[in-house]
Amino acid sequence: MPTEPNRAMNNSIPQTHRIILPPNDLGYSYDPHVEAGLHGAIKLSPKVLRHCQCGGKSPFMIIDPLRGEPVWCPCYPFRRKKYRIDKYIQKSGIPAPFRFKFARDFKEQYDDGQPIPGARLLKSYFSTLVDNINSKKTSIKGFYLWGAPGRGKTFFAYILLNELIFRFVRSGKFIALSKSFHELRHTFDEGSETQGQAMPMIEMLSNVPFLVIDDFGVQRNTEWEMEILYNLIDARYANRRLTFVTTNQKVDDLKDLAQGRIYSRLLEMSHIIHVTGHDFRELGNPEAKWIEPR
Ligand SMILES: [Zn+2]
């Protein structure tokens, strides 16, 4: 992986060198066909490349003719985004075969051409979410997506997280709760390589902009785990961080956990979505589309 472009960027780009992009151009796109290990590559958009004067050579600087000094090339902010997206997706916890999977990889039809009933709704949920983040709405909800195994919940969560990181260039984490508890417990073991790291781990999970908690199961959890879980959910609620849960359990099954505090927080932060068969429905109102995150 190349070295990270320097952080001090926008300020030192002269106004005249900034690239104004049309609304549908992020300045980069994903090309799945480039051979680069398991997946493709992020490419700069043609408009950015047309404005690039450094030829893509590190440190991506050019000599400003007016000042006679080195300044960042107009391509620079986009090269930095590209670098950060790669890094965030590598570190997201998404398993390698599912990295760089996007909404276009979520099929709307079975192989025989029949539509998959839930797929359209999931896509519209996603585009509404993106619009709401773009328009900086203040109380955007994540989801609590529940149903029997094998309904595509986890795959959808992978896609969602890839898309959010890719579009907004912010970090995201995908965790399985039982594994995270195991790792946390390990930090208390004498001589373990993560000894004493519990607080940084919890801090990170409390603050990461996008968090997916996959396979949220609660039957065998201890009181200590429930307290950690409540603190995590509560911190994310207070910090207005988007949280997405997939699980086999009805949200009502959580009523008794941590004196009902986990349940009430999740209800405030989430759209409760039931997956039945290949259908995705908002709980309690099966006719309603569940696409209006507020
Ligand atoms: Zn350049």
- Report residue 286's pLDDT band, with 50, 70 and 90 as the boundaries: very low
Kindly report, residue by residue over 122-144, the tens digit of the pLDDT: 677 788 888 888 888 777 889 89
**Class of CATH domain 96-282:** alpha beta
Ligand 1 center–CA 39 separation, angstroms: 25
Ligand 1 center–CA 254 separation, angstroms: 53
Ligand 1 center–CA 6 separation, angstroms: 14
Kindly report, residue by residue over 227-243, the tens digit of the pLDDT: 888 999 999 999 889 99
| pTM for the model | 0.84
Structural domain boundaries in the chain:
10-90, 96-282
Ligand 1 center–CA 52 separation, angstroms: 4
Give the model's pLDDT for residue 169. 96
Ligand 1 center–CA 76 separation, angstroms: 6
Give the model's pLDDT for residue 290. 35
In the block, residue with structure tokens 């000599």? 63
Ligand 1 center–CA 288 separation, angstroms: 48
Q: What is the mean pLDDT of the chain?
A: 82
Higher-pLDDT residue of 197 and 263 is: 263
Ligand 1 center–CA 103 separation, angstroms: 30
Give the model's pLDDT for residue 277. 56
Ligand 1 center–CA 75 separation, angstroms: 4
Ligand 1 center–CA 23 separation, angstroms: 21
